[in-house]
Structure 1
Amino acid sequence: MSKLLKTLKRTVVLEGWVNSAGRRALREVFEAYRAMLQEMVEYAVEHNASQATLHRVFYSRFREEYPWLPTRVIKGCYRDAVRRARSFLRLKKKGLAQGDKPVVKNITVTYSDSQDWRLVGGDVELRTHRGWIRLNLRYTRQLVRYLYGGWKLSSELKLKPAGKRILVYLTFRRVFEVSYNPNNVIAVDVNENNVTLAVFRNGRLGDVYRIETNLGRIVIAYSERRKRITGGKSTKDRSVKKALRKLREGERKTDIIYKVARFIEELAYINSAVVVVGNVHKGKRRLVSRAGSNNLRHRIHQWSVSKLVEVLDNKPIHVVEVPEAYSSSRDPFSGEPIKGYAPSVIRVAVRGRRVRVAKVVLRLARLSNGLTLDRDVVGAVNIGLKHLTADGSPVALGSTGPHEVRVKLVNPHQGPTPPTELKVIETN
């Protein structure tokens, strides 16, 4: 067994409120920060300045103008200004920027020194130029879980004004010891409507899971509904925004992604395995460059492939990226190119609150050893082989075992128990 240390970070967003004296003190802090940020952003856009340049130009003047502001708040303003300036210049290069210079609308003040704030009695006490003020917090179960679950509170505090409320961002860190067997692999192949997992134990192919996410269908349905709702109107229209918000596309996609990541995490923990994913960023750029229409390009961008990899990286598991080129076009058992796939549609009974029939779309090919496998299964198996072998050479199934691969169909909303199985048997 191999071991590695992995540091994870979690941010909890809480609502806070203060009394009238604290509100006046925070208002002065926010106004000073906004004025500094606006001036720095304009200078950074005009001169393409870095953080070091902004420090040399503005630090002494702002220390004299706002001597009551903590030094690290001013230095944090440099990073914020450079980030906003670079984002504006990128949009301007693409012709998407509004106006000749950026306008600061929302701000977030960062206190990165633990001497300027503390967590006392369930509330945040902040040191200002008018003395210590108390921010009363609205507790959540998420905060309690991190406070008493072995996570360490970091020295960084972020405050964001939101109307009459103040959003408080608390950051927690924890170091995990991840144990894994290098020969046990969970290979992940992310597709438009499913995520296929190939489980290798001791370097040999075991189970295969097909998680039906239907993200592609959600994207297409949302796109069509969006066209009907807008009807030529601007998406900034109040009634249009309200109707689009009810569709909950982002919430539904995020919910599915986190459930899939949870399933993969449990599978990796049970098997003490390494999670291997394809290089989704490079693959996504390749697909976008080959897309022939704007609709297809939009669908590729909305698959949330990189989001799933990001969520997996934030889990206490070992995640490795490998190139996924030609992963679906090569026979994993002989290394020969696959000539083509035949489309097929099967119907299976899915158990849940009630038995229903689900339609599964497959693309099948007969391989060299007589197995007939789906294209997504082939891709997942090849991704696992690229990690297990330095050159990605094929590894056959055990000669003494049965030559079959059982593909387990999984619904992400019903937990880790597969509701049914698809058996792809050897064909002669």
Structure 2
Amino acid sequence: MKIHYRSNRQLHRYLYGGWRLTDELKIKLDGKRVLLYLTFKRDFEVTYNPNNVIAVDVNENNVTLAVFKDGGLSDVYRIETNLGRIVIAYSERRKRITKGRSTRDREVRKALRKLRERERKMDIIYKTARIIEELALANNAVVVVGNVHRGKRRLINESGNKRLTHRIHQWSVATLVRVLGGKPIHVVEVSEAYSSSTDPFTGNRIKSFNPSVIRTAVRGVRRIRVVKIALRLTRLGNGLVLDRDVIGAINIGLKYLSTGGSPMALASTGPHEVRLKLMTPNQGPTPPTEIKAIKIH
């Protein structure tokens, strides 16, 4: 049986980029269409410096990255994914479409298919994974992520709210980890227990966080837009004020580095300066916008 395919850039990248086609073929019925999924494989030689780490803390609306070079904290990135807000928005749209009507209704099914929630979320996840991959390759680093499966189960068990449980299920955290696993980088999962509630500089327990909102301008393709960022700040033992997600990313990196000794986020002597760099999935690893609220000396 001969199947004619429509030429596209993604297929050409796999056909002529050193990938080889496997015998695996997946068939899916989509209404009157039949979708065929081809599988390509490629062998990569992954090299990395174990003292260079990209620590990834995945949250509901952002992915925070702490970059360690030679065991010391170097940079912090915050990728605004807004996946949590997207899940809530699509949930409300589905409620309006199905209100007083059955999901078996032809017009309802057609309207639900047009939402394309999964496609939008997967686009954000793939772009976020691409940023992490580029940072890991540029720094010859290992990517360390928290054990999202265990954390997700704990949040579901502790939550008695059905809407929050739905948001956790739609979080797509595990999908990001799976996409990273298919990249030519070394990915390690570590326990993220108490990573957001422990002072990375003193090891003491953090008692509370204070909510804060800042606004910053982000240059897009056509215009400059204002982004509102919700932070949860606390003052650490050394007088430094940090966001909860940044603390989580730093502690995840320190947990991996601690297997080879007793690392410190910063050296005990000498001046230091680390800025939290704001990014969006559509921007590369060198964003023009920085949140200058974090300055370590």
Whether the TM-score (by the shorter chain) exceeds 0.5 is: yes
Contact 1:342 1:364 in 2 (8 A): yes
- Paired AA for residue 298 in structure 1: H
Distance (whole Å) between structure 2 residues aligned to residue 408 and residue 340 of structure 1: 24
Larger Rg computed on CA atoms: 1
- Summarize deviations over 1:126-174 as a string: whole Å, max 9, x none: xxxxxxxx41321433333222211122234456677886644433221
Which secondary structure state, in structure 1, belongs to the residue aligned with residue 250 of structure 2? helix
Residues 167 and 369 of structure 1: CA distance in aligned 2, closer, same or farther (over 3 Å): same
Aligned-residue offset at 1:398: 2.4
Q: How does 1:291-302 map to 2 (within 5 A)?
A: 291-302=159-170
Q: Which residue of the partner structure matches residue 129 of structure 1?
A: none
Distance (whole Å) between structure 2 residues aligned to residue 270 and residue 310 of structure 1: 21
Structure 1 residue corresponding to 2:87, chosen from 219, 241, 258:
219
Which secondary structure state, in structure 1, belongs to the residue aligned with residue 47 of structure 2? strand
- Paired AA for residue 279 in structure 2: V
Contact 1:277 1:321 in 2 (8 A): yes
Q: Which residue of the partner structure matches residue 284 of structure 2?
A: 415
Contact 1:194 1:210 in 2 (8 A): yes
Aligned-residue offset at 1:366: 0.9
Structure 2 residue corresponding to 1:184, chosen from 36, 52, 55:
52
Distance (whole Å) between structure 1 residues aligned to residue 160 and residue 33 of structure 2: 47
Structure 1 residue corresponding to 2:207, chosen from 333, 339, 344:
339
Q: How does 1:7-406 map to 2 (within 5 A)?
A: 134-141=1-8, 142-157=10-25, 167-352=35-220, 353-390=222-259, 395-406=264-275
Aligned-residue offset at 1:405: 2.7
- Paired AA for residue 361 in structure 1: A
Gaps of 5+ in 2: none
- Summarize deviations over 1:176-216 as a string: whole Å, max 9, x none: 00110000000000000000000000000010000001111
Aligned-residue offset at 1:336: 0.6
Over the aligned positions, Cα root-mean-square deviation in angstroms equals 2.2
Contact 2:254 2:265 in 1 (8 A): no
- Paired AA for residue 343 in structure 1: P
- Summarize deviations over 1:274-318 as a string: whole Å, max 9, x none: 000000001000000001210010011111000000000011110
- Paired AA for residue 200 in structure 1: F
- Paired AA for residue 374 in structure 1: D
- Paired AA for residue 417 in structure 1: T
Contact 2:276 2:294 in 1 (8 A): no
Contact 1:371 1:403 in 2 (8 A): no
Which secondary structure state, in structure 1, belongs to the residue aligned with residue 100 of structure 2? coil
Name the TM-score, length of structure 2 as normaliser: 0.92
Q: Which residue of the partner structure matches residue 117 of structure 1?
A: none
Residues 400 and 309 of structure 1: CA distance in aligned 2, closer, same or farther (over 3 Å): same
Which secondary structure state, in structure 2, belongs to the residue aligned with residue 345 of structure 1? strand
Q: Which residue of the partner structure matches residue 293 of structure 2?
A: 424
Aligned-residue offset at 1:224: 1.2
- Paired AA for residue 270 in structure 1: A
- Summarize deviations over 1:215-239 as a string: whole Å, max 9, x none: 1111111111111111121222211
Residues 220 and 161 of structure 1: CA distance in aligned 2, closer, same or farther (over 3 Å): closer
Name the TM-score, length of structure 1 as normaliser: 0.65
Identity of aligned residues (%): 72
Aligned-residue offset at 1:426: 5.4
Alignment coverage as a number of residue pairs: 295
Distance (whole Å) between structure 1 residues aligned to residue 164 and residue 7 of structure 2: 41
Contact 2:274 2:296 in 1 (8 A): no
- Paired AA for residue 359 in structure 1: K
Gaps of 5+ in 1: 1-133
- Paired AA for residue 46 in structure 2: V
- Paired AA for residue 387 in structure 1: Y
Larger relative contact order, structure 1 or 2 (CA cutoff 8 Å, min sep 6): 2
Distance (whole Å) between structure 2 residues aligned to residue 171 and residue 425 of structure 1: 44
Aligned-residue offset at 1:414: 3.0
